[in-house]
Amino acid sequence: MSMEPQPGGWSPQLPPPSQGAGAPAPSGGGRGIAVVAAVVGVVVGAGLASGAWLLFGGGGGAVGGSSAAVSAPARLGDYYRYPDLAQVRKRDGQSGDMTEMVNRQAKWDKESSTRLSASRDGAGAVVQQYANEELESMFSLEVVRSPSPSPQYVSYSDPKYLGVDKPPDEMVAFGPVSCVVRNDPSGQTFVVNCLRTSGDLTVAVTHVNGDLGGKPEAVADVVNEAWSQLG
């Protein structure tokens, strides 16, 4: 099951939506690219509207879930929780007041945590935004004390028919972590989410921005780091 990035707006690293259905279709070798561009545009638009809840679903019935509270790790490799990031940047002499940004994100994360828990019949959950010190890469960690289907679902499309090397949407696995990625017609790959799950815990990294967004294996490493601290 796939999960889409950026609930608040268009992610700058994602491909723009395609032209409308009325745009003339190119002939010959351009046919495949035109079809993929249309598919990617539709999927991205739908994903932005639906948001993160595609990952965890909204039907409840959290078999194996637990209502025990869960806390986000203070640090995941080079990435810090937003509330801690301001202190790290100040300590290292980085300029800029992050108070407004931190307070706003804390409010959003709290509401997202409540929604995630509610989607799993009250299972313990936390949503926390992270970024590196330079604010060059950011992501959302989503943890819930409930299992999730794995490997994740992505819709099927035939890359040969579309005239491309990879399908627009693809699931790639790195050990116990499954990642949903979107392959742009230009050849770039963007991470939608990476997830690891067991009988009573799901850890996911979503809404990935910056350089990290083009590195599925690196995102999977972040998931494993969080898993090692929470499992």
Instruction: Determine if the pTM surpasses 0.85.
Output: no
The dihedral built from the CA positions of residue 105, 110, 114 and 120, taken in this order, carries a sign that is positive
172 within some domain: yes
Model pLDDT, residue 82: 85
- Structural domain including 87 reads 30-56+63-230
Model pLDDT, residue 23: 37
- Helix, strand and coil in the chain, % to nearest 5: 35, 20, 45
78 within some domain: yes
Model pLDDT, residue 98: 76
Model pLDDT, residue 53: 37
Model pLDDT, residue 31: 42
**What is the number of structural domains in the chain?**
1
The DSSP-derived string for 64-80 is T---------SEETTEE
Structure tokens at 230: 């929470």
Give, in order, the Cα–Cα distances in Å from 166 to each of 98, 158, 215: 40, 9, 16
Residues of the chain below pLDDT 70: 1-64, 91-93, 95
Model pLDDT, residue 95: 64
18 within some domain: no
